[in-house]
Amino acid sequence: MITGLMEYEFLQNAFLAGMVIGVVAPLLGVFVVVRRLSLIADALSHVTLAGIAFSLLLGKQTVVFSGINPLYMGMAFSVAGSLFIEKLRTVYKHYQELAIPIILSSGIGLGVIFISLADGFNTDLFSYLFGSVSAVSRTDLWTVVLISIAVIAVIGLLYKELFLLSFDEEYARATGIPAKAIHFIFIVMVALVIAASMRIVGVLLVSSLMTLPVAASIRIAKGFRQAILYSVLFGEAAVLGGLVLSYNLDLAPGGTIVMIAVLILVITVLWKKMRTSSAV
């Protein structure tokens, strides 16, 4: 494993990208989960897939696009999708959750059309669906790192406002916080992180990295800072453990990462149960 890491650039890329995503996805995920927006990550990942399929299709047909990383188009689609979700949430005020299936199915629909137009792709698309260690390129890595730095900086700077908006939106508005602008920044960050995480865990599993570590964390955390800390620790453990296992046992990395996150969740739930029952 260690020699593999020293030897192969793709492994280094995958590990570094995974480590960064392991921090930033659960970090943002805490805000996503407490605002009850968990399913948005799912919807956006499918929109990202449509973007990637579109980019691959363009690359197949025109020379200009063949050199461009499909991740960029995926991000553009994801951000556009996040804005559509916001729009739909105001259109369907009383059915806010309706925005999610609408965007999710549009994403899949578009993706499938692009794929069929291109007469199918090779394994490349498969790696986007389920994640791949070998597919992470240097530009992927740099994109992930830059997005993560930006997201961590924004969360740091807007921590108070994001916390208040998540905890009590009505109060935030009543005290004159620029709720709309901050919510907009937040949703764009979610879209970008989802697109960035996709290389490692894949479209179908990307939302799990934002929600599972958080689900485990809020069972045992005292306070919001602790919830963030545990989420990031759990997320990092899942990503690193998953990558090591998948490399050694030749498993799909996305699936392995998610299953470790599920294991952590089960352990925390049981642990909490044991503690509360012994306390009574």
**Residues making contact with other proteins (CB under 8 A):** 34, 36, 157-158, 160-161, 163-164, 166-168, 170-177, 217-218, 221-227
Q: What region does 244 belong to: left with phi over 0, alpha with psi -120 to 50, or beta?
A: alpha
Structure tokens at 216: 């485990």
**Least Cβ distance, residue 37 to other proteins (angstroms):** 12
**Least Cβ distance, residue 70 to other proteins (angstroms):** 35
Of 36 and 60, CB closest to other proteins: 36
Of 1 and 153, CB closest to other proteins: 153
Of 42 and 161, CB closest to other proteins: 161
d(CA 241, CA 110): 34
Q: What region does 252 belong to: left with phi over 0, alpha with psi -120 to 50, or beta?
A: beta
CB 108 within 8 Å of CB 42: no
**Least Cβ distance, residue 88 to other proteins (angstroms):** 22
**Least Cβ distance, residue 103 to other proteins (angstroms):** 23
Of 75 and 155, CB closest to other proteins: 155
**Least Cβ distance, residue 97 to other proteins (angstroms):** 15
Of 120 and 176, CB closest to other proteins: 176
Of 4 and 178, CB closest to other proteins: 178
Of 95 and 167, CB closest to other proteins: 167
**Least Cβ distance, residue 188 to other proteins (angstroms):** 17
**Least Cβ distance, residue 176 to other proteins (angstroms):** 4
Of 106 and 219, CB closest to other proteins: 219
**Three-state secondary structure string covering the chain:** CHHHHHHCHHHHHHHHHHHHHHHHHHHHHHHHHHCCCHHHHHHHHHHHHHHHHHHHHHHHHCHHHHCCCHHHHHHHHHHHHHHHHHHHHHHCHHHHHHHHHHHHHHHHHHHHHHHHHCCCCCHHHHHHHHCCCCCCCHHHHHHHHHHHHHHHHHHHHCHHHHHHHHHCHHHHHHCCCCHHHHHHHHHHHHHHHHHHHHHHHCHHHHHHHHHHHHHHHHHHCCCHHHHHHHHHHHHHHHHHHHHHHHHHHCCCHHHHHHHHHHHHHHHHHHHHHHHHHHHC
**Least Cβ distance, residue 147 to other proteins (angstroms):** 20
